[in-house]
Structure 1
């Protein structure tokens, strides 16, 4: 369980590192499963598009940067299904949301060695927009993170700014991956949150964050799991319209609300 000091820190800053949520046995099983998913299912690509790339990369590096990713790991692996329903994690999230907790998604983010994809400053809401901010993203760390491999970084307290307009297109109107203006929101202004294997870093859906490139000889393996108050309705984006597992508490009925549509 979280202390009141930890809960206060989260609400003040918009993020929190929770040490050793997963035991060594649990994280080893997740690590093995993740490696299998990378081998069998994940896709490696140049990563996020957008004008931010001209600011972050020179011409040569821009061609080399790669990101390995896939969605919904818990549909492919019993280890990851156990992870999303982990009692310790679910209990912590219930404390932070002060409500029942519904799973929204899981997404693998792997930064390959030496040229592993950095992330420009952004909020997560543009990717899966919800009615309000009662949504917490969690980062499960399969490896220790530090500056050289691109640990997560946050603009402390930025969740209090609410939803912000993001860059959604190139100057010619071609759509791109949502991100904040890199000239206005800079990684050097953020707080680094290095973490250990088995730790979880949680953050508010409006908290601005990003990370540097992985410069090491090993991949930086991390999985994001999104959770929400079941009554925080989604507006658009990833997994819109799909109900999630209740991992803590109970889905209260609102008025004459209809049964969930699973198909």
Structure 2
């Protein structure tokens, strides 16, 4: 793993917003390989006809295609600099969200994980963990 230094504007953005976007974190080839594996695993898991959200956790750590993400230079060094070098893999998930009409809009959006559901305000929340998520497909812009 190569050391990628966290830039000062990245640290400020994370401190102010609680998240960080790393454009180009994965190569096109990595995205293609991971998408193929994720599609297969989700297909095996099954989906109800009207199910817009599906999450799979079992079997991910056993799938070799995901192993390089554990030491990926584009993200892991940033987590170490934002949190500490004492990091652990807490959980893994493949999450698929399918198109949904506006009626389900309330169920969308970001939320806090790691058992800290009470919103104490961004300034007061303990930085106990950082979730790394890789978006393998584009998010279309909302319609006006």
Give the shorter-chain TM-score range. 0.7 to 0.9
Pairs aligned (count): 129
CA distance in 1 between partners of 2:142 and 2:76 (Å) = 31
Q: 1:94: how far off?
A: 0.7
* TM-score, structure 2 as length reference: 0.72
CA distance in 1 between partners of 2:80 and 2:60 (Å) = 20
- Pair 1:104–1:147, CA change in 2 (3 A): same
Partner of 1:77: 63
Instruction: Identify the match of residue 8 of structure 1 among 2, 5, 12.
Output: 12
Q: Deviations over 1:171-214 (max 9, x none)?
A: xxxxxxxxxxxxxxxxxxxxxxxxxxxxxxxxxxxxxxxxxxxx
Q: 1:89: how far off?
A: 1.6
Quick check: 1:74–1:84 contact (8 Å CA) kept in 2? no
- Pair 1:18–1:33, CA change in 2 (3 A): same
Partner of 1:211: none
Quick check: 1:72–1:105 contact (8 Å CA) kept in 2? no
Partner of 2:134: 140
Partner of 2:113: 124
Q: When you count strand as a share of all residues, which structure comes out higher? A: 1
- Pair 1:143–1:84, CA change in 2 (3 A): same
**1:109 counterpart SS class:** strand
**2:137 counterpart SS class:** coil
CA distance in 1 between partners of 2:36 and 2:108 (Å) = 25
- Pair 1:121–1:25, CA change in 2 (3 A): closer
* TM-score, structure 1 as length reference: 0.42
**1:75 counterpart SS class:** coil
Q: When you count helix as a share of all residues, which structure comes out higher? A: 2
Instruction: Identify the match of residue 106 of structure 1 among 79, 83, 92.
Output: 92
Q: Deviations over 1:197-256 (max 9, x none)?
A: xxxxxxxxxxxxxxxxxxxxxxxxxxxxxxxxxxxxxxxxxxxxxxxxxxxxxxxxxxxx
Aligned-residue RMSD, C-alpha: 3.0
CA distance in 2 between partners of 1:121 and 1:29 (Å) = 26
Quick check: 2:11–2:82 contact (8 Å CA) kept in 1? yes
Partner of 2:24: 20
Q: 1:70: how far off?
A: 0.6
Q: Which runs of 5+ in 1 are unaligned?
A: 47-63, 150-263
CA distance in 2 between partners of 1:12 and 1:67 (Å) = 29
Q: Give the structure with higher Rg (CA).
A: 1
CA distance in 2 between partners of 1:115 and 1:65 (Å) = 12
Q: 1:125: how far off?
A: 3.2
Matched, 1:68 2:59: no
Q: 1:115: how far off?
A: 5.1
